[in-house]
Amino acid sequence: MACLAVSTWAKEMPKAGFGVQFGWAQPLMRMNNDGSHHTLNTVHLKGLKAGVVYDASFVAGFGSSIGINYTYGNSHTKWAKKDLTFSERKLYDYHQLELFVDWQYKFEVAKETYIILYTGPSLQCGLKYNNKYELRNDALREKVKDQCTSVERYDTDQHDLAMRRLNVTWGVGVGFQYQRYFLRGGYDFGLVNPYKHEDFANGNHTHGRIDQWNIRAGVYLWYK
């Protein structure tokens, strides 16, 4: 098998390309309770993903894809009645950078047309995760400014809000490529606990993970 790989490499140099990608992302901030093993809360963020990618195929369609992405996500709850006079809601704003390495296999289904299967790790660094609370006077239809608060969760020491910046995920996905153009989509599973504190509410251990759905379209600016 090694000799065959070397001879194949010598006869046909590996294809490689450098390109850009842009798409949709949905980070999922999960918080679980170790005592009851159920999800206490999941924040669904909707946003965008953009980055650069280097793709190389080595032997018989097997290769790798590496790159750097920027991900932005935000979300907010609907106004909900707090009492007869006031309503409240929460807003979320999230920014991160990620370095990913995917191992992939390309099935050539037609000339210069491929179906792609890939899997691999991603190292994520949170740049900002801001949670904002707003209170509104329903009679006046105005926000109560002195009751509106904002917390940057990477910089706070508050017990149930403090989070670590670094996260590691493992992703799986499928893709399609035609000549220089490609489309990829997949799901990243969080592998580490992003919450700093060991207990929450009733004294049970707090844990969770940051997952992510994503779909990206791109083009190789250089492909040989």
Q: Which residues pair with 69 in a beta bridge?
A: 51, 98
Does residue 6 sit within a domain? Answer: no
- How far is it, in rounded angstroms, from Cα 163 to Cα 205? 14
| pLDDT tens sequence across 52-80 | 999 998 888 899 999 999 999 999 999 99
**Which token pair is 199?**
């207990």
204 sits in which H/E element: none
Does residue 133 sit within a domain? Answer: no
Does residue 183 sit within a domain? Answer: yes
Domain that holds residue 19: 14-74+96-126+165-223
- Residue 202 pLDDT more than 70? no
pTM for the model stands at: 0.84
Site of tokens 């842009």: 22
Q: Where are the alpha helices (DSSP H) in the chain?
A: 2-11
| pLDDT tens sequence across 75-105 | 999 999 999 899 999 999 999 999 999 999 9
Does residue 144 sit within a domain? Answer: no
pLDDT at residue 11, rounded to an integer: 46
CATH number at residue 188: 2.40.160
Does residue 114 sit within a domain? Answer: yes
Does residue 190 sit within a domain? Answer: yes
Gyration radius from the chain CA atoms: 22
- How far is it, in rounded angstroms, from Cα 73 to Cα 200? 26
- State how far Cα 216 lies from the chain centre: 12
| pLDDT tens sequence across 124-156 | 999 999 999 999 999 888 999 889 999 999 998
Number of separate domains in the chain: 1
pLDDT-based confidence at residue 9 (cuts at 50, 70, 90)? very low
Whose CA is closest to 78, among 26, 136, 27, 146?
136
Does residue 137 sit within a domain? Answer: no
The mean pLDDT of the chain is 88
Does residue 201 sit within a domain? Answer: yes
- How far is it, in rounded angstroms, from Cα 90 to Cα 79? 8
